[in-house]
Structure 1
Amino acid sequence: MPRALAVAADLPRPTRPPAQVTGAVHRVLARPEYHYPGPSLFERVQKAVVDWLAGVLTGVVGSGIGAWIAIAVVLALVAFVAWRLSTGVTRDPGRGVAVSGVRTRPAADWRVEAEAHERAGEWRLAVRARYRALVADLAGRGLLHEVSGRTAGEYRAELGANLPGAAPSFAGATELFEGAWYGRRPTAAAEAARFRQLADRVLQEAG
């Protein structure tokens, strides 16, 4: 304990008020890279159903055969509903996740934003902005239909059909974007430079 007190005494005195430090921490944690998506509506409903069934099963332990028959019927109905939902709304896994927060903006605006993020060392945001610039450029050439809510996989499939020669480079750029933005892979200057190279190849092929 005396040693710990001695070490603490050697530490420099804080120069910033606690409220300012707290505000800075909150601003940093509010940035997009620290936001993690919560469970989906389906996952929340699924958990609620499982919790309810667990409670019901706990309540009927030791009850007569009639209670168990009722539980079996309920379980069968739940399984049927889950099967119908899974067969009716399952997406093509090749389509990927939806590109969220899409705003129709000129490619030049997205590039200005990307350059600002690169100067600040915000590489994930830079890759996202350059991906949006690439999509906007291709949409301007009539090679993609830029629509809010479309997935990166849908853009990849559409470009593969409209401009096969650029498909490999666009697929590589898309993988970098999805890995950085959705997969939260480590993203730095090297990944941003690689994305720019792939985007340049796509645009050269597009003419």
Structure 2
Amino acid sequence: MLSIFALPVLLVTDVPVDPDAPGARKLLLDELAKPEYAAAKPTLIDRIAQAIQDWLGSFRAPEDGSVPDLFPLVVTVLIIGLIVAAFFVFGRPRLRRKSQAAGALFSDADDPRTSTQLRASAHAAAAAGDFVTAIEEMFRAVARQLAERTVVSVTPGTTAQEFAVRAARAFPEHGDRLARGARAFDGVRYLDQPGTREGFDEIAALDRDISSARPSRLERVADQGATL
């Protein structure tokens, strides 16, 4: 019968003194998997900080007293400065413009042009191949002519979408075309979408059809001098 004093000897002999290669690999992996080893590993931030430190250290003055080559550092600083400057000069207005996806139909509240003048401007832009401006001006012509006819109430700050909803009440048969025109206007003006000949032609046809259509409902213009 084994005594209790022999038990530790048996337990020790269960662990191989000289494990084979697979066994040694398993023991090593088990050891490295312990939490204290994982905590000691450098994090991503540690590695980035070390890389930056090593990079900055490369610009130390040479031991022979010659002037260090600072050209890479100067170029890097200039590039970063240009990127930051470009963001503030070009990036922020672009983001602000895109955030106004439902912006005012007329950017200038004092725009005095009549529907005839806006229509002429649209056709001139289309002839020059500038369909972004052509779509903007033609949809404005649609809005201005309905304001001139006192069919739709137009006020400063009115958006293209708001105008389309109001005009659709007076011309329900053109409701879908008005909505598409408003989306095309917002797309080219506020979302930097390219204008197309097809998009311009559709709004130009809408302008012709509405100019000769009889509204089913009139909405009194509150201010004849107001602009969208």
TM-score, normalising length: structure 2: 0.46
Letter in 1 for 2:157: G
Report % sequence identity.
21
More helix by percentage: 1
- Structure 1 stretches of 4+ with a deviation exceeding 4 A read none
Alignment match, 2:211: 203
Higher relative contact order (CA 8 A, sep 6+): 2
> Does the aligned pair in 2 maintain the 1:169–1:202 contact within 8 Å?
no
Equivalence map 1:88-127=2 (5 Å): 96-99=102-105, 100-102=107-109, 103-127=111-135
Distance 2:131 2:179 in 1: 19
TM-score, normalising length: structure 1: 0.50
Q: 2:189 aligns with which of 176, 181, 195?
A: 181
Structure 1: gaps of 5 or more residues: 1-33, 44-92
Does 2:158 correspond to 1:141?
Answer: no
> Does the aligned pair in 1 maintain the 2:130–2:195 contact within 8 Å?
no
Equivalence map 1:45-194=2 (5 Å): 96-99=102-105, 100-102=107-109, 103-194=111-202
Query: Secondary structure of the residue that 2:137 maps to in structure 1?
Result: helix
Q: Between Structure 1 and Structure 2, whose CA radius of gyration is higher?
A: 2
Shift of 1:97: 2.4
The aligned length equals 122
Structure 2: gaps of 5 or more residues: 1-89, 216-228
Q: 1:37 aligns with which of 93, 116, 119?
A: 93
Shift of 1:120: 1.5
Query: Secondary structure of the residue that 1:121 maps to in structure 2?
Result: coil
CA RMSD of aligned residues (A): 2.9
Distance 2:112 2:119 in 1: 14
For residues 149-176 of structure 1, the C-alpha deviation after alignment (integer angstroms, 9 at most, x for no partner) is 1111211221122332232221122122
Distance 1:200 1:171 in 2: 16
Distance 1:202 1:119 in 2: 23
Alignment match, 1:30: none
